[in-house]
Structure 1
Amino acid sequence: MKIILLKDIPGLGQFGNTVTVKAGYARNYLVPYGMAVFCNVNNIKELQSKNHEIQLKEKIDIKNAQLRILQIKKISPITIFTKSRETGKLFGSIGLKEILHEITELGVSVEKHELMIADNVIRKTGKYYIIFQPYTHVSCYILVRIIAQ
Structure 2
Amino acid sequence: MKIILTQEVSGLGTPGDIVEVKNGYGRNYLLPQGFAIQWTKGAEKQVVVIKRAREAREIRDLGQANEVKGQLAGLKVTLSARSGNGGRLFGSITPAEIVDAVKAAGGPALDRRRLELPGHIKTTGSYNVSVKLHPEVTATFPVNVVAAK
Instruction: Give how far 1:139 is off.
Output: 1.0
Aligned to 1:104: 103
Aligned to 1:93: 92
Aligned to 1:113: 113
- Return the letter of the residue paired with 2:65: A
- Return the letter of the residue paired with 1:112: R
Runs of 4 or more above 6 Å deviation:
none
Instruction: Give how far 1:86 is off.
Output: 1.5
Aligned to 1:128: 127
Query: What is the RMSD computed on CA atoms of the aligned residues?
Result: 2.2
Instruction: Give how far 1:137 is off.
Output: 2.4
Aligned to 1:148: 147
Alignment of 1:62 onto 2:88: no
- Return the letter of the residue paired with 1:62: L
Structure 1 residue runs of 5 or longer lacking an equivalent are: 1-6, 11-59
Q: Distance in 1 between matches of 2:115 and 2:77?
A: 14
- Return the letter of the residue paired with 1:134: L
CA displacement 1:14-69 (0-9 Å, x = unmatched): xxxxxxxxxxxxxxxxxxxxxxxxxxxxxxxxxxxxxxxxxxxxxx7111100000
Aligned to 1:49: none
* TM-score relative to the length of structure 2: 0.55
Percentage of matched positions with identical amino acids:
24
Instruction: Give how far 1:98 is off.
Output: 0.5
Q: Distance in 2 between matches of 1:95 and 1:104?
A: 15
Instruction: Give how far 1:83 is off.
Output: 1.1
Structure 2 residue runs of 5 or longer lacking an equivalent are: 1-16, 21-59
Aligned residue for 1:87, secondary structure, equals helix
